Chains A and B, each alone.
Chain A
Amino acid sequence: MKTSSIARVCLVTLALGASGGGAYVFFASATAGGASWLDWARTALLAITLFWLVLGTSFGLVGSLLPAGRKPAAMAASPRGRTAILMPVYNEDPQASFARIAAMNRDLVRLGAESRFDFIILSDTTRDAVAAEEADWFARLLDEPGAAGRVYYRRRERNIGRKAGNIEDFVSRSGAAYDYALILDADSLMSGETIVEMAQRMDENSRLGLLQTVPRVIAARSFFGRCMQFSAGCFSPHFARGAALLQGDEGPYWGHNAIVRMSAFAACCGLPELSGPAPHGGHILSHDYVEAALLARGGWQVHVDPRLGGSFEEGPDNLIEYAKRDRRWCQGNLQHRRILGAPRLLWWSRFTLLQGIMAYLASPLWLALLLTSLLASVMPQRVFADSVMLEAEAGLMALAIAVFSILVLPKLLIVLRGLLDGRNKRFGGTGAVLISVLVEIAFSTVMAPVMLVLQTRAIAQTLLGTDGGWPATARDGSRVTLSEGFAASWWIVALGISAIGVTAVLTFDSLVWVLPVALPLLLAPFLIAFSSAPLAKRSWLLGTPESLDPPRVVRTYLEVFEAWSKTGVNHFAQGWQLKDAARVSA
């Protein structure tokens, strides 16, 4: 039996046991005076939500206990195969994206490996004014060392199939000229060493269809962005290591910062349109999970390797941008229910798709648990002794503490491990890491109810058939004012007020359970505005190795960007928004 199969059986059994045990304690405590249909319903809701919660956190638990493993020894300087480094762009800031290409190219030139790599910008930009900017900055890119004949740009007139269609267009026209494709996002940045190593791994293992890195978030400026950046830097590699143990040869693909074998990708990943109209049918939005499942179906290995460093991306700097991105991901993941029953998919691939769906469905299920619990408390009172009542309260409190501990334990174990293996030093020392982890836990706890209602709304919008589309995400770190925060979250405040009001009137004793959820909802505008405030760049609080001591390729990128800024005009940097682009192109 393979290691991944044993790990799957163990962790799924653990999650089933823990959720079953939790549901039993809940049922026994909640039904001390006799069970009603509501008690059965909320016990079922708790069992389902707890299963996915325990399974998710068990990845972190296992990852924090597993040895990191040794990276394969460095191989020859240049890989044998030719790689197309693809950067799909869509109305993004071309100066920043193309400066990242320049930095990656300089790194490859430094290593003497550039002859095996071409850069290809695949533009799906719809605004002519932005396309004109792309042409300007591309001309600058051609002056970079060794760029002649190795750096290409093309723009589609119609962006059929969005990003997946953009890549498919390239593969079907030029794919046979390359052995591998390194797929990036407009905000991706990778070191030359990592790019070369990934191509070499493809050379060495002819069954490897896709190799995914775990990108670190860089360049976050706000408190919100720094929390995400710290979480991705400190926790994600451990969670990914734990998950990789279960995934084995059926690992994930996150759509960027990954290398694919061109022939395998072409043979397995031609995505059809789903029957019916959007948002349930039409083009597959979250194509990456599906492509990973199709590669595995075709017999190819799909691996994720958290040991591969030198892989970076940027993230949203405020909750509004985060929620917009999350809305798109939610729609894409829910669409996967149409693919769960696809013929010949491996069972683990189906399970992974289901896990992605549950990542969003969990929110309305938690909300339903809260609502049914409130409803149960206003039902005709059952009469039972005070001692039974106290015992029941103690049982529920113990369960609440257990759920919180499940969420926090892996994070604390990661700090402890960092203390023992010295990793904490790269984050500014154990003291800094511990304080940062506590701040991150506090912030994510306070934000959890807000995220819960945002995700519930996203699911409702998707199921009602409102197509979210794919608006470009602004990653410019612009600060959100209190009035903007209120405009985006007034309905969340109204929900919080309603929850407190209804509970106070109907079942005052239950307020103690409702306030931890409702208070953050009341504070949503303040949380959104406050968390978008900038944090000092080199601050030890929420510091990561990349923010405290930027890697070479990040420094090169910043140098190139700055040098280009001196001689060119970047309308995006001057606060140019897409609406301005629309005005210019109209």
Chain B
Amino acid sequence: MKYQPLYPAYGELPDAPLAMPKQVLERPQQPRIGLLQRALFALSWR
């Protein structure tokens, strides 16, 4: 599909899309309850 530039373009740039998938840089945050559960679990062991 030919894209319509949203901006002034002088000379038509090649219509040759290349996907740039978003990379994963952050680990999903652990819910706070997880910490609590882990602490309770550790205490119950004692």
Q: Does A472 contact B (CB under 8 A)?
A: no
Within 8 A of A (CB), among B11-26: 11, 13-26
Question: When A173-B13, A341-B27 are in contact, do A270 and B21 touch as well, CB less than 8 Å?
Answer: yes
CB-defined contacts of A271 to chain B, threshold 8 Å: 22-23, 25
Chain A neighbourhood of B22, CB < 8 A: 270-272
Q: Please tell me if the beta carbons of A176 and B18 are within 8 angstroms of each other in the complex.
A: yes
Chain A nearest CB, measured from B43 CB (Å): 28
Query: In this assembly, does B41 line the interface, its C-beta being within 8 Å of a C-beta of chain A?
Result: no
* Known contacts A154-B5, A155-B8; A267/B21 CB under 8 A: yes
| B45 in the interface (beta carbon within 8 A) | no
- Whether B7 and A155, one on each chain, are in contact in the complex, defined by CB atoms closer than 8 angstroms, is yes
Question: What CA separation (Å) do A142 and B18 show in the bound complex?
Answer: 27
| Dominant secondary structure at the B interface | loop
B25 to chain A, nearest CB (A): 4
Q: Report the minimal beta-carbon distance from A91 to chain B, rounded to whole angstroms.
A: 15
Give the distance in Å from the alpha carbon of A156 to the alpha carbon of B5 in the complex: 9
Q: Which of B6, B23, B27 gathers most chain A CB within 10 Å?
A: B23
| Contact A343/B11 with A173-B3, A173-B17, A266-B19 known, Cβ cut-off 8 Å | no
The closest CB in chain A to the CB of B21 belongs to A270
**Bound: A533/B20 CA distance, A:** 46
How far does the alpha carbon of A501 sit from the alpha carbon of B26 in the complex, in Å?
A: 47
A436 to chain B, nearest CB (A): 43
Query: A168-192: which residues lie under 8 A (CB-CB) from chain B?
Result: 168, 170-178
Interface: A268 (CB within 8 A): yes
Within 133-150 of A, Cβ neighbours of B (below 8 Å) are at: 135, 138, 142, 149
**Is residue A234 within 8 Å, beta carbon to beta carbon, of the partner chain?**
no
Asked whether, in the complex, the Cβ of B23 is within 8 Å of the Cβ of A152, the reply is no
A125 to B11, CA, bound (A): 18
Bound-state CA distance A272–B25 (Å) is 8
- Residue from A151, A154, A155, A271 whose CB has the most chain B CB atoms within 10 Å: A154
Contact A177:B6 (CB < 8 A) given known A152-B11, A275-B26: no
A177, B17: Cα distance in complex, Å? 8
Within 8 A of B (CB), among A222-278: 262-263, 266-272, 274-275
Residue of B nearest to A149 (CB): B11
Contact A177–B20 (Cβ < 8 Å): no
The answer to whether residues A172 and B20 also contact, given A157-B6, A338-B26 and a CB cut-off of 8 A, is: yes
**How far is A142 from B6 in the complex, measured between Cα atoms in Å?**
22
Residue contact A263 to B18, C-beta cutoff 8 Å? yes
B9 at the interface (CB under 8 A from A): yes
What number of A residues sit within 8 Å (CB to CB) of B? Answer: 40
Task: Note all chain A residues with C-beta closer than 8 A to B6.
Answer: 156-157
CB distance from B9 to the nearest CB of A (A): 4
Are the CB atoms of B3 and A274 closer together than 8 Å? no
When A173-B17, A174-B15, A263-B18 are in contact, do A272 and B9 touch as well, CB less than 8 Å? no
Q: What residues of B have a CB within 8 angstroms of the CB of A274 in the complex? A: 25-26
Please state if B26 and A175 are interface contacts (CB–CB under 8 Å): no
For the side of the interface on B, what is the size category?
A: 20 to 34
Task: List the B residue with the shortest CB-CB distance to A338.
Answer: B26
B22-36 vs A, Cβ < 8 Å mask (1 yes, 0 no): 111111000000000
Q: Is A358 an interface residue (CB 8 A)?
A: no
Chain B: minimal CB distance from A167 (Å): 9
A342 lies within 8 A of chain B by Cβ: yes
- The CA-CA distance from A170 to B25 in the complex, in Å, is 22
Q: Contact between A270 and B13 (Cβ–Cβ < 8 Å)?
A: no
Q: How far is the CA of A338 from the CA of B25 in the complex (A)?
A: 8
- Nearest-Cβ distance from residue B45 to partner chain A, whole angstroms: 28
Is there a chain B Cβ closer than 8 Å to A347's Cβ? no
Q: Which of B6, B9, B14, B22 has the most CB of A within 10 A?
A: B14
Interfacial chain A residues near B19, Cβ < 8 Å: 172, 266
Which chain A residues border B5 with CB–CB below 8 Å? 154
Contacts of A176 in B (CB 8 A): 14, 16-18
Residue of A nearest to B9 (CB): A154
Nearest-Cβ distance from residue A145 to partner chain B, whole angstroms: 16
Give the residues in chain B near A153, CB-CB below 8 Å.
8-11
* Interchain CA distance A26-B10 in the complex, whole Å: 64
| CB-based nearest B residue for A262 | B18
Chain A residues with CB under 8 A of B20: 168, 171-172, 175, 266-267, 269-270
**A342 near B8: Cβ-Cβ < 8 Å:** no
Distance in angstroms from B4 CB to nearest chain A CB is: 11
User: A272 to B11, Cβ gap below 8 A?
Assistant: no
What residues of chain B lie closer than 8 Å to A171, measured between beta carbons? 18, 20
CA distance A262 to B6 in the complex (A): 23
Question: B23 touching A174 by the CB < 8 A rule?
Answer: no
Which residue of the partner chain A has the closest CB to B11?
A152
Q: How far is the CB of B6 from chain A (nearest CB, A)?
A: 5
Indicate whether A48 reaches chain B with its CB closer than 8 angstroms. no
Shortest Cβ distance from B22 into chain A, in angstroms? Answer: 4
Contact across chains for B23 and A269 when beta carbons are under 8 A apart: yes
List the A residue with the shortest CB-CB distance to B20. Answer: A270
Nearest CB in chain B to that of A121: its residue: B10
Contact between chains at A174 and B26 (CB < 8 Å): no
Contact partners of A458 in chain B: CB under 8 A? none
In the complex, whether A109 has a CB less than 8 A from a CB of chain B is: no
| 7 closest A-B pairs by CB | A175-B18, A177-B14, A176-B16, A270-B20, A177-B16, A154-B9, A153-B10
16 residue pairs bridging A and B, Cβ less than 8 Å apart = A135-B8, A154-B8, A156-B7, A171-B18, A172-B20, A173-B16, A174-B16, A175-B20, A176-B14, A270-B21, A271-B22, A294-B23, A338-B26, A339-B26, A342-B25, A343-B24
User: Hey, which bits of chain A sit against chain B, CB under 8 A?
Assistant: 120, 135, 138, 142, 149, 151-157, 168, 170-178, 262-263, 266-272, 274-275, 290, 294, 338-339, 341-343
